[in-house]
Amino acid sequence: MQYPPAEPGMREEDVETPALVLDLDAFEHNLDTMAGALIPTGVRLRAHAKTHKSAVVANAQILRGAIGQCVQKVGEAEILAWGGVRNILVSNEVVGPKKLARLMALSRIADVAVCVDDEAQIVAAEAAAEAAGRRLTVLVEIDVGAGRCGVTPGPEAVALATRIADSPHLIFGGLQAYHGSAQHIRDPEARVAAIASASEDSRRTVEQLRQRGLDCPIVGGAGTGTFALEAGSGVYTEIQAGSYAFMDADYARNASPPPFRHALFVLATVMSRAVPGVAVVDAGHKAIPTDSGYPLVWERPGLAYVGASDEHGKITIGDGAAPALGEKLRLVPGHCDPTVDRFDWYVGVRKGRVECLWPIGARGMMA
């Protein structure tokens, strides 16, 4: 585990780098903004822990009205449940008897649910639940446009739901209908069209299930890029946004960016000024993954992060004050989720001072 990079009371510029800095004012603003946006819709927030990987953040979201959390991995569910989170949906398929056994063990301290998109997964879930002597809630994932996981909406989904409902140790929990790729569509009209289609797929499937006597307590999906659309659809009951708590550079590039502030930064130190026109910082792509583009340099016009190697970030110096050797810069990650997963600690900062350190307990929990 990484050393704690700071102590409460310290000035931000004294934090050891690279460090993951959470601006607490912006973070709380984001939680309040999402809660406020959802109240008039009546749709619940089940925030996604794949972004934050921390029971501390999960509990802050729940304190502000989130009904629980989503995760992608059993290991993430464990960290949350051990940290007091009581309502967890694995918004993903879980394949393998050991992982299912861990999920059943966890069901003794939290309400857990899982998704399927194949009959074999239902058979395995039933066996795991029976072996544990418990019942497990199972959702059917439908493919509403991402082309990744999920069965075709309609009769295929109804067949799986019926199979779940007919399994003595399983409870049919509803539909998982997440359109991941729509989150990052730059054109607002195309985003609207994608979610309209996803909502119609979901609505049709819900209706067909109802005709078979099967209710959908959960119709879940949506991320930070589209949540208002799903929330207004009349069919989704739960919003699974994660990035809204932090915001990243990629979401900010959308033509109509969501109303959240940048709250998450990688603090980096200028470690070389030897090459003219270049500042090198100690955060390369091991610290700030570049799968959604390079980070932005925060509130330093003229500085552009233009290249990442494993341990070095290359910043070009345009007009304006050049950074000094040893100076610390805030970088806005291109993509929050993999960036958070590189750190063991959030350094919570308010008005330039370190207020708290929070462990990122689910960092690296991929199994």
> Which of 103, 136, 329, 365 is in the footprint of a copy of itself by CB under 8 A?
365
Q: Can residue 293 be called a binding residue for a copy of itself (CB under 8 A)? A: no
Which DSSP string corresponds to 70-120? EESSHHHHHHHHHTT--EEEEEEE--SHHHHHHHHHHTTTSEEEEEESSHH
In the complex, the smallest distance separating the C-beta of residue 319 from a copy of itself, rounded to whole angstroms, is: 21
| Dihedral angle of Cα 302, 298, 30, 4, to the nearest 10 degrees | 170
| Dihedral angle of Cα 205, 208, 213, 214, to the nearest 10 degrees | -10
In the complex, the smallest distance separating the C-beta of residue 41 from a copy of itself, rounded to whole angstroms, is: 26
Q: What angle do CA 268, 61, 255 make, to 5 degrees?
A: 65
**Nearest alpha carbon to residue 44 among 186, 176, 229, 236:** 236
The residue among 231 and 308 lying less far from a copy of itself, judged by its C-beta, is 308
In the complex, the smallest distance separating the C-beta of residue 151 from a copy of itself, rounded to whole angstroms, is: 5
Q: Can residue 162 be called a binding residue for a copy of itself (CB under 8 A)? A: no
> Which of 2, 59, 162, 208 is in the footprint of a copy of itself by CB under 8 A?
2
What does the buried/exposed string (b/e) look like for 238-276 if buried means 16 or more CB atoms within 10 Å of the residue's CB? Answer: bbbbbbbbbbbbbbeebeeebebbbbbbbbbbbbebeee
Burial zone of 342 (CB within 10 Å; 0-12 exposed, 13-18 middle, 19+ buried): buried
Per DSSP, the three-state class of 210 is helix
The residue among 11 and 39 lying less far from a copy of itself, judged by its C-beta, is 11
Distance separating alpha carbons of residues 43 and 348, to the nearest angstrom: 30
Distance separating alpha carbons of residues 264 and 331, to the nearest angstrom: 9
Site string for a copy of itself, 20-59 (x = CB under 8 A): ------------------------------x---------
In the complex, the smallest distance separating the C-beta of residue 180 from a copy of itself, rounded to whole angstroms, is: 6
Instruction: Give the other-Cβ count within 10 Å of 50's Cβ.
Output: 23
Residue written as token pair 């919003």: 239
Site string for a copy of itself, 88-127 (x = CB under 8 A): ----xxxxx-xx-----------------xx-xx------
Contacts with a copy of itself: how many residues (CB under 8 A)? 67
Phi, then psi, of 269 in degrees rounded to 5: -110, 140
Distance separating alpha carbons of residues 247 and 225, to the nearest angstrom: 10
Site string for a copy of itself, 295-334 (x = CB under 8 A): -------------xxxxx-x----------xx--------
In the complex, the smallest distance separating the C-beta of residue 294 from a copy of itself, rounded to whole angstroms, is: 11
Q: Which of residues 182-241 bind a copy of itself (CB under 8 A)?
A: none
The residue among 59 and 316 lying less far from a copy of itself, judged by its C-beta, is 316
In the complex, the smallest distance separating the C-beta of residue 313 from a copy of itself, rounded to whole angstroms, is: 10
> Which of 68, 75, 173, 359 is in the footprint of a copy of itself by CB under 8 A?
75
Q: Which residues bind a copy of itself (CB under 8 A)?
A: 1-3, 5, 16-19, 50, 72-73, 75, 92-96, 98-99, 117-118, 120-121, 141, 143, 147-151, 180, 269-275, 278, 280, 282-283, 285-287, 289-291, 308-312, 314, 325-326, 337-338, 341-344, 363-367
